[in-house]
């Protein structure tokens, strides 16, 4: 069906939701109508993430009903016995409405629904799926995206984000509803079925009990937790309750929440992007940190699965650490916290993605800990955890992380968990302070021991399909004729995850034993590397750079060479 046909169908529907009808009338540009009605927001391994608004490619009551109807059919066809699902939602526009709509549709399909009656973090949803032994979970969230976005994330019975195979199977069911989209029920104003079980805030006590497992030194916190001065911002999202209760329950009593950003504001009015990866997200936290003389600043994104951390430096300012740096510090602390008995008895495993820095991996290997590498996306880390647990041997999970500020310490959750990460970060900072140093100083000690690492992420957003096509041609050319040298360093190996091949400088080929993915990674002689990956959720390309040097200057020089190559060959 052409976009014009879709548009006329919506335009002529007398029963169209009034809010969407008003928006539809206001759109005059054919190009915008074509974008809105030319297709559907794709359903991938992270579910759907799209702008809110009228149209088949946007998230609205009809497209949510379409996705949920297909998911309900999938659950019924692939499971036996009593069927159940858990639904959570964040602070964004329409999140509660979308959750109630989904609950009503699933209940009508004779699926028991556990529906949160308040906003909850994404990691809590993952935990609740496992706790209730549900078939699936739905989280209505767009994570750290701007306010115009919302999303529909689907979880499997293990509490992890669904795999590609499951996503494809659910997509096939969803597409059955394309022709009947506007006739789907859109009851979102009230819960209409007694098989929908409401979950109030009391349910969070179960999560908080598990959270105690994260701490490696409760006695230290009990005795000295008040000595660490913490400023925390939930960035208008879902993290405040569990983060503050979790910190307080262990003994961190000196916690100051940024009041302006404790407000559950769907417009995220105090930040341009509610993303703790961006220094600007810490502006109000920095101000409060200076007033309170805080040792550390911590921020969680709106659905509280990502954690950002800023540490006071010797000049009294706050330096934002990268996800790679925090992951390395966490690995270091977790390994130092193991008892001699634990080290001797178990084979500990760290799981990281292929675009995450090697610093953490090198720390782990030097301490006799195994590394598992996965594709980008925490669902793959969740799969590795499941494999580790199913082995029933001496193998034990220690830690999983990715460079984009996602960490998981205790696997009672199967997704990245900023609440857990906030607890461990506070404990690490206290441990450092009691040893008369900061986490920044500990990080530089690691650099002295393992080499200096410098990383950077370059991104380019596509303005139109022509730009996307041109970039695909450049990536194809890179595959066909990879460079022999970048700057003054030779390329010793190229890893092509789309073709599952790793080729060294002499032409020897090895098979990459990971699922196929449109990623190219070039490793240089000194183990610095560059990786190219189109985003799976947004119209953009990402280029990851990781440089290694004997000191900070040499690492930065190598990073500059990587950046120049990426800019000239791919992003210009």
Looking at 3.90.1150.10, 2.160.10.10, 3.60.21.70, 3.40.120.10, the CATH number of the domain 3-199 comes to 3.40.120.10
**Which CATH number applies to 214-318?**
3.40.120.10
Q: What is the pTM of this model?
A: 0.95
Q: Give yes or no for residue 179 having a pLDDT over 80.
A: yes
3-state percent helix, strand, coil for the chain, nearest multiple of 5: 45, 20, 35
pLDDT of residue 392: 83
- Distance between CA atoms of residues 472 and 81, nearest Å: 46
Domains 3-199 and 214-318 share a fold: yes
How much of the chain exceeds pLDDT 70, in percent?
A: 99
What pLDDT sits at residue 537? Answer: 56
**pLDDT, tens digit (0-9, with 9 covering 90-100), for 502-550:** 999 999 999 999 999 999 999 999 999 999 998 755 667 899 999 999 9
Residue-wise pLDDT tens digits, 408-467: 999 999 999 999 999 999 999 999 999 999 999 999 999 999 999 999 999 988 777 777
Which pairs from 550-555 meet CB under 8 Å and 24+ separation? 550/451, 550/452, 551/452, 552/447, 552/452, 552/454, 554/452, 555/451, 555/452, 555/453, 555/454
From the centroid of its chain, how far is CA 518?
19
Q: Is the confidence at residue 468, as pLDDT, over 90?
A: no
The pLDDT assigned to 194 comes to 87
What average pLDDT does the chain have? 95
- Would you place residue 97 in the very low, low, confident or very high pLDDT band (cuts 50, 70, 90)? very high
List all residues 6 or more positions away from 273 whose beta carbon is below 8 Å from its beta carbon.
Answer: 144, 146, 280, 281
What are phi and psi for residue 235, nearest 5 degrees?
50, 45
Backbone angles phi, psi at 369, to 5 degrees: -115, 135
pLDDT at residue 255, rounded to an integer? 98
The string of DSSP letters for 208-226 reads: HHHHGGG-S-HHHHHHHGG
* CATH number belonging to the domain at 452-571, selected among 3.40.50.1000, 3.30.310.50, 3.30.70.870, 3.40.605.10: 3.30.310.50
Residue 466's pLDDT is 75
Catalytic residue among 84, 102, 126, 143: 143
Give tens-digit pLDDT for 281-294. Answer: 999 999 999 999 99
φ, ψ dihedrals at 534, nearest 5°? -65, 140
Residue 221 scores a pLDDT above 70: yes
pLDDT at 467: 76
- Band of pLDDT at residue 476, cut at 50, 70 and 90: confident
First CA to last CA across the chain, in angstroms? 36
What confidence score (pLDDT) does residue 540 get? 79
Residue 143 annotated among the catalytic residues of the structure: yes
The lowest-confidence range among 272-286, 359-373, 465-479 is 465-479
Indicate the domain borders of the chain.
3-199, 214-318, 324-450, 452-571
Please give the Cα distance from 491 to 507 (Å, whole number).
12
The pLDDT assigned to 473 comes to 85
Domain at 324-450: CATH code: 3.40.120.10
């Amino acid at each position: 069906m052409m976009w014009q046909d879709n548009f006329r169908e919506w335009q002529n529907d007398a029963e169209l939701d009034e809010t969407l009808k008003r928006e539809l009338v206001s759109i005059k540009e054919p190009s915008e109508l074509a974008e809105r009605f030319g297709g559907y927001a794709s359903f991938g391994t992270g579910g759907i993430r799209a702008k809110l608004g009228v149209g088949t490619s946007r998230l609205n009551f009809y497209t949510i009903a379409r996705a949920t109807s297909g998911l309900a059919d999938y659950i019924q066809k692939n499971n036996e016995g009593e069927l159940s699902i858990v639904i959570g939602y964040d602070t964004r526009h329409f999140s509660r409405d979308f959750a109630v709509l989904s609950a009503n549709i699933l209940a009508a399909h004779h699926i028991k629904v556990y529906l949160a009656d308040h906003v909850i973090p994404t990691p809590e949803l993952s935990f609740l799926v496992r706790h209730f032994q549900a078939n699936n979970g739905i989280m209505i969230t767009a994570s750290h995206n701007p306010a115009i976005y919302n999303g529909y994330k689907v979880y499997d019975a293990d509490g992890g984000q669904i795999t590609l195979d499951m996503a494809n199977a659910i997509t096939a069911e969803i597409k059955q509803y394309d022709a009947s989209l506007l006739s789907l029920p859109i009851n979102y104003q009230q819960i209409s079925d007694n098989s929908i079980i409401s979950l109030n805030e009391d349910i969070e006590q179960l999560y908080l009990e598990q959270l105690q497992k994260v701490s490696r030194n409760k006695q230290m916190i009990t005795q000295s937790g008040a000595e660490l001065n913490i400023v925390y911002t939930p960035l208008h999202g879902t993290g405040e309750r569990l983060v503050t209760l979790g910190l307080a329950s262990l003994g961190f009593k000196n916690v100051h929440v940024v009041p302006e950003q404790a407000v559950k504001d769907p417009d995220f009015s105090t930040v341009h992007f509610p993303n703790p990866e961006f220094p600007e997200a810490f502006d109000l936290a920095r101000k409060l940190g200076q007033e309170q003389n805080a040792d550390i600043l911590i921020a969680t994104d709106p659905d509280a699965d990502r954690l950002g951390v800023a540490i006071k430096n010797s000049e009294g300012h706050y330096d934002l650490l990268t996800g790679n740096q925090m992951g390395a510090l966490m690995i270091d602390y977790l390994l130092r916290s193991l008892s001699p008995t634990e080290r001797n008895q178990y084979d500990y495993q760290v799981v990281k993605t292929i675009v995450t820095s090697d610093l953490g991996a090198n720390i782990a290997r030097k301490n006799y800990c195994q590394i598992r590498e996965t594709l980008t996306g925490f669902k793959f880390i969740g799969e590795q955890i499941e494999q580790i647990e199913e082995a029933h041997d001496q193998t034990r999970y220690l830690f999983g992380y990715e460079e984009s500020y996602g960490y998981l310490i205790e696997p009672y959750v199967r997704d990245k968990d900023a609440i857990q990460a906030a607890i461990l970060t506070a404990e690490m900072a206290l441990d450092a302070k009691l040893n008369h140093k900061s986490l920044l100083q500990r990080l530089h000690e690691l650099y002295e021991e393992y080499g200096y690492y410098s990383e950077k992420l370059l991104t380019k957003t596509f303005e139109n399909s022509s730009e996307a096509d041109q970039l695909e041609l450049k990536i194809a050319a890179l595959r066909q004729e990879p460079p022999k040298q970048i700057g003054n360093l030779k390329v010793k190996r190229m890893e092509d995850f789309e073709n599952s091949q790793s080729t060294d400088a002499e032409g020897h080929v090895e098979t990459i034993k990971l699922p196929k993915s449109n990623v190219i990674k070039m490793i240089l002689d000194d183990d610095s590397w560059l990786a190219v990956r189109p985003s799976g959720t947004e119209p953009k390309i990402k280029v990851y750079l990781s440089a290694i040097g004997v000191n900070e200057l040499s690492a930065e020089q190598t990073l500059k060479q990587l950046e120049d190559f990426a800019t000239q060959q791919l992003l210009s």
